[in-house]
Structure 1
Amino acid sequence: MNEYEKHCVEVLAENAFWRFAASMPNTMWKYTKKIMMFLTKYDIVNYISLGIRGCNQFQLNDEYFKGLEGTGTYIEKFMQRLPQFENLLLENEDFKKFIKYMEKWETIPKYVLKEKKTIEINGKSKDLYQIIANKDFPSLTYDNVACLIKKGTSGGYVESEKNLDQNGKCWIDNFSSIIDSAYVTEDSIINTSTIQGNSLIKGTSLIKNSNICDNSIIDNSIFEETTIKNNAYITKSRIFRSTILNDVEIYNDSYIYASKIIGSIWVDHSSIIYSELKGNIKIKNKLIQK
């Protein structure tokens, strides 16, 4: 099985084990269901009906995946065992059709640019393009719930396609803007926020009511009502109602709430609540609460 075929298997696995029918294009669900039903014949997966229209899903067959308990998500386990049943898929006509469908579907741009519009950002006027969904595609809500962006849906504002990846599930709502050289990619969702400067938002980052500036890098993190400026690096953390300024690094499931963190501060696996910290501090495995 080549790399693109494996990529398509991973899409099938996400659709079957995490999404529901209404959160993906109809044709994508049609092939997902057919291929997974084929695998039920070999006791690789089980079909379950949740009793709600559009919410049918699949589960791994525990016996087939025995030995992988506690080793990851359904999707990760499915991919680990793929070498044992990949030939079944390669010989399946629906899987062959799904590959062709995906090749065509992925060549269609996710969004197109509408005419320019003058938008006020931080007190300054800027001419930006509004994005419009160019096809139905699976995405996420700010709450990390599977959803479908329908073709024709209006999104937020960008200076060019260099601001928002055409691949992945990333999306910005129509109250958000990405400007300058900022870039949003992978599965990140931007809600009522501005991303600017040379900022990079990647992974499954969920940003709401926030302002991300300068050279900030945000990876797999959740922000709400937060301002980030000047060379921040934040990964796998949650930050709410806070201000992060000047060479701050935050790692590993850290939690920041209603705090101000300023200047060369390094935070690892810690919680900072109702606090103000300044300058040249390393914090690891701690709770700081005012």
Structure 2
Amino acid sequence: MNEETKKYRLTEKYIQYKGRILYRIQAIKNFSDVNCGEYGGFVESEENLNQYDNSWVYDEAKVYGDARVEHAANVKESAVVFENAIIFQYAVVKGNAKVYGNAWIRESAHISGQARIYDEVRVAGTVKGNSIISGDVTIYGNAYIRSKGTVRTSSDYVIVENINLDNQILTIYKARNNEIYVTNQEGYEQSLEAFMTNEKDCGEVIYGVLLINGFNLK
């Protein structure tokens, strides 16, 4: 690649992490919200962060192995991305989140908190808190999983739309100890049991949606 087209360089500042050497990156031109000369996070090689788009690794974030960050995606704060994971399009991974295995984080997905995303997972929604998403699962569009979500199969979560709750989009998902929670994108969260008690008019509709979608109620 022509050196003039590159957006960053690997500096001589490095750390040893999990038996690997990771290099602090530095922007060598202005792009997106990054200024020329600004330092970023750490990568193992230029294969980890695309040189010709608006993607960036910020703060103390780390990307290594065969992982890639592309398009306008960001990895921030203390997040770690490794193995064969791909962060792309407009996705953001931040906090202390870890993304690895063959996971793809895409579209406008947001991963934060202590979330762990791995295996063959594909995420286009929002995952935060202490959630663990694994297996061969796709978390899509309007899904909003937080707290202690534990999604290992497609039967562990359901998105519910078009019910009489001010047009809210709800995500119902499995958590630790087989608890079931209801959330929305405004940060609302409570147990399914409490929701069914408080929203009696919608209870039958919700239950029907869960059964139709094969949600694992056990």
Fold-level similarity (TM above 0.5): yes
Q: Secondary structure at the match of 2:42?
A: strand
Q: Give the equivalent residue in structure 1 for 2:10.
A: 113
* Corresponding letter in the other structure for 1:194: V
For the residues of structure 2 that align with 1:164 and 1:268, how far apart are their CA atoms?
33
For the residues of structure 2 that align with 1:196 and 1:239, how far apart are their CA atoms?
18
* Corresponding letter in the other structure for 1:275: A
For the residues of structure 1 that align with 2:84 and 2:29, how far apart are their CA atoms?
28
More helix, by proportion: 1
* Corresponding letter in the other structure for 2:89: G
State the number of aligned residues: 165
Q: 1:149 to 1:268 in 2, by over 3 A?
A: same
Unaligned 5+ runs, structure 2? 161-170, 179-188, 193-218
For the residues of structure 2 that align with 1:272 and 1:289, how far apart are their CA atoms?
9
For the residues of structure 1 that align with 2:92 and 2:10, how far apart are their CA atoms?
23
Deviation at 1:157, TM superposition (A): 0.9
Paired residues for 1:219-258 under 5 Å: 219-220=106-107, 221-225=109-113, 226-235=115-124, 237-241=125-129, 242-258=131-147
Unaligned 5+ runs, structure 1? 1-103, 139-147, 279-286
Q: CA RMSD in A?
A: 2.6
8 Å CA contact 2:110, 2:127 repeated in 1: yes
For the residues of structure 2 that align with 1:130 and 1:171, how far apart are their CA atoms?
12
Are 1:214 and 2:101 an aligned pair? Answer: yes
Are 1:159 and 2:37 an aligned pair? Answer: no
**TM-score computed with the length of structure 1 as normaliser:** 0.52
Deviation at 1:167, TM superposition (A): 2.1
* Corresponding letter in the other structure for 1:223: I
8 Å CA contact 2:27, 2:40 repeated in 1: yes
For the residues of structure 1 that align with 2:59 and 2:20, how far apart are their CA atoms?
15
* Corresponding letter in the other structure for 1:108: T
Cα offsets for 1:69-101 (capped at 9, x unmatched): xxxxxxxxxxxxxxxxxxxxxxxxxxxxxxxxx
Q: Give the equivalent residue in structure 2 for 1:171.
A: 56
Q: Percent identity?
A: 25
Runs of 4+ with >6 A deviation:
none
